[in-house]
Amino acid sequence: MYSETPLLRWDIFCRVIDNFGDIGVCWRLACQLAQRGQSVRLWVDDPSALGWMAPEGASGVEVKRWTSPLDMTNITPGDVMVEAFGCEINPEFIAAYAYHISVKGQKCRWINLEYLSAEKFVLRSHGLPSPVMSGPGKGLIKHFFYPGFTAGTGGLLRETNLLERQANFDRTAWLEQQGLNWQGERLVSLFCYEPAGLGDLLEALAQDSPPTCLLVTPGRAKTALDAKLSDEKRLKCLWNKRNKLSFLYLPTLSQNDFDHLLWACDVNLVRGEDSLVRALWAGKPLVWHIYPQDDDAHVAKLSAFLDWLQAPASLCNFHMHWNGIPPAEAVHSRPDFLPQEWQMCAAQALKRLLAQDDLVTQLIRFIAKNH
Ligand SMILES: Cc1cn([C@H]2C[C@H](O)[C@@H](COP(=O)(O)OP(=O)(O)O[C@H]3O[C@@H](C)[C@H](O)[C@@H](O)[C@H]3O)O2)c(=O)[nH]c1=O
């Protein structure tokens, strides 16, 4: 029924709160819409990260500086407004949109794109309408769109050519480009905040593991690692005296190269929202450093994800320790790092996800069906 994809003009609004997840998700969304022939304007209050994340831009995506107030001279709103992560679109834009659709006799296509979660409320809330009760949008209806891991949610962002990109990826050549003369050591990527279990992991990798190279992303991950490495106690006992653990410090990578990093590594330590999804697409064992929230809302969110992942007990324990969350039951104080044991659930999760429609396919279908 929806085989004909309508070609629409999209306005995606993104406010950069902190870190790179907001712009990372919105950029992928914009590119993936454009990949399907949609015309996209991405309004972002701070586009600076796009300089390294997407240095080449993308055809079909126009990046616009989102100022407040927004100068509406020469701006005609498109057909669809996407308000990412409750970022609150300016009233002047909403007023112009309301006028535009009424003149064109179009229905309102206003999407509230929410954060990713595996919690049960997502199934209840995905797709719900939210009538606007006041302001210039009064009478319009927004719809909640929840990304998710299962049928009945909005799915996950996945480009149409993901599998082809992966099939054409040359691991050794890419590692060489990053300056790594790879001798077959185990490769582990590190993209995190300040994980509680980092010191213990470093010690474990230096003592009783196969030779491992940690590929360290810049920013908070590198700073957290440096702090652990300069820990005097550890230096005194020559913790890495057999040089089992080595490090490769990476520059900021483009989003495409960040994907390559995850495909090149045997284990991915990721964080936030977008890198978690990308690590799932990599199909390798992963450990998630969840974005910590003051009210501890992240604890339930992490448990729901681990349930969905069908994570074995060792992986659940490792996650709790890594995230500094006290375990429900008494477990070993330093859970083992056991990627071989975790590979199976990563592979099965990937299989389940590939069998579902991706987020953009679902979003376009949702727009066509409800509007
Ligand atoms: C390290 C690195 C990251 N990236 C990209 C990958 C992702 O798109 C993005 C990182 O985003 P995330 O993985 O989501 O992690 P994050 O911690 O940067 O973002 C977080 O921001 C908070 C405000 C949100 O509330 C969180 O939910 C989360 O989105 O940066 C690169 O492109 N190159 C790099 O070198």
Q: What is the pLDDT of residues 178-197, one digit of tens each?
A: 999 999 999 999 999 999 99
State if residue 117 touches ligand 1 by the CB under 6 angstroms criterion: no
This prediction has a pTM of: 0.96
Counting atoms of ligand 1 from 1, which one is nearest the CA of 115? 27
Which three-class secondary structure state does DSSP give residue 131? Answer: strand
Report helix angle 274-282 to 255-264, nearest 10.
40
State in Å: Cα 216 to ligand 1 middle. Answer: 14
pLDDT at 261 over 70: yes
Counting atoms of ligand 1 from 1, which one is nearest the CA of 25? 8
The CA distances from residue 368 to 2, 79, 134, in Å, are 7, 12, 26
Contact call for residues 5 and 34 (beta carbons, < 8 A): no
Counting atoms of ligand 1 from 1, which one is nearest the CA of 221? 1
Which pLDDT belongs to residue 166? Answer: 98
Q: Which residues are catalytic?
A: 22, 273
State in Å: Cα 136 to ligand 1 middle. Answer: 33
The tally of CA atoms less than 13 A away on the side-chain side of residue 39 is: 7
119: which 2 tokens? 């919690």
The CA-CA-CA angle for residues 138, 116, 118, to 5°, reads: 120
State if residue 295 touches ligand 1 by the CB under 6 angstroms criterion: no
**Distance in angstroms (rounded) separating the CA atoms of residues 110 and 141:** 7
- Band (pLDDT 50/70/90 cuts) for residue 217 is very high
Query: Rounded mean pLDDT of 223-233?
Result: 86
pLDDT at 165 over 70: yes
Residue with the two structure tokens 């950069």: 16
